[in-house]
Structure 1
């Protein structure tokens, strides 16, 4: 499963299927696509820090003009944490997900996620 499912936030990984925002926008797409930011600091582990939707909350905190994502929250969290499906069976549409707007902060990367490991961080308070 983990070695054959679509790997997100990755430009190229032969022979595995990948999905990245820099795909399909023409010859200059790699240079015009913003970077995904995955990092750790004293506050925890931060996945896709620039994502607009905090999926640490249930339901996720959405902007008013943004409709809800129909994908199950546990699958969205797994996809952001591992960049692919590792534990759950890949759904039929696993190559058609869009995790690029989600963000998640954790104190530990254990799976399955424990509720106490999810941290709600305000992006304005975090040092860049």
Structure 2
């Protein structure tokens, strides 16, 4: 499996934080989404093109998340996505949000491949499945 690792820098602004300058917990999901989107993009799979050419979308099915330490206003973070596995129409990512060497948030995110027209589960398109080294 050609998982690779994608890292996306994130700077924390006022809009990311609560009144105490601590990052609001739901914002970590946005940072992880950026990393997964870039993971696909770096491998030549743009969401719009995949939807148009293959008739499928990738949507979050489940997230298991552990908040370890808070991020604060002005922090420079790194959102990381790494493919952990592919099975049927599902891709599982290991994701972290880091401040330097410190892990702030860890998550396992399962993404489902679904048909554009009705959001029912679909097989991963052969071009992507082939790239990943698995059967779609």
TM-score by length of 2: 0.28
Structure holding more helix per residue: 2
Larger radius of gyration: 2
TM-score by length of 1: 0.29
Structure holding more strand per residue: 2
